[in-house]
Amino acid sequence: MSTQPVGPEPVNVVCPSCHQQVVTRTEPKATTKTHLIALIMCLTCLWPCACCLYCTQCARNTEHFCPSCNAFVGTYER
């Protein structure tokens, strides 16, 4: 659940934990959907494309964290 509106890029927010104005630190995260798409691609002989899912952000969510206190700020779901 997102506590602040966030997107795929770092955003300027007030941290809900330390209450500082910060630009979020982002981390891409593979989801169950990412793994299922990769499995289907592997089963249909598209395994090189399946590997690309983990190298790009197109099929991964973006999690945002406060760079000061490392508190979770929100998730951008793809």
pLDDT tens, 17-68? 999 999 999 999 988 888 888 888 888 877 777 777 787 777 789 999 999 9
Task: Let me know if residue 1 belongs to a domain.
Answer: no
- The SS3 of residue 37 is helix
Task: Let me know if residue 5 belongs to a domain.
Answer: no
Whether 27 and 73 have beta carbons less than 8 Å apart is answered as no
Rg (CA), the chain: 15
Whether 8 and 64 have beta carbons less than 8 Å apart is answered as no
Q: Which domain holds residue 65?
A: 12-76
Average pLDDT over residues 3-27: 90
- In this predicted structure, the answer to whether residue 1 has a pLDDT above a threshold of 50 is no
Say how many domains are in the chain. 1
- In this predicted structure, the answer to whether residue 15 has a pLDDT above a threshold of 70 is yes
Q: Is 64 exposed, middle or buried (0-12, 13-18, 19+ CB in 10 A)?
A: buried
Greater model confidence, 58 or 1: 58
Whether 23 and 72 have beta carbons less than 8 Å apart is answered as no
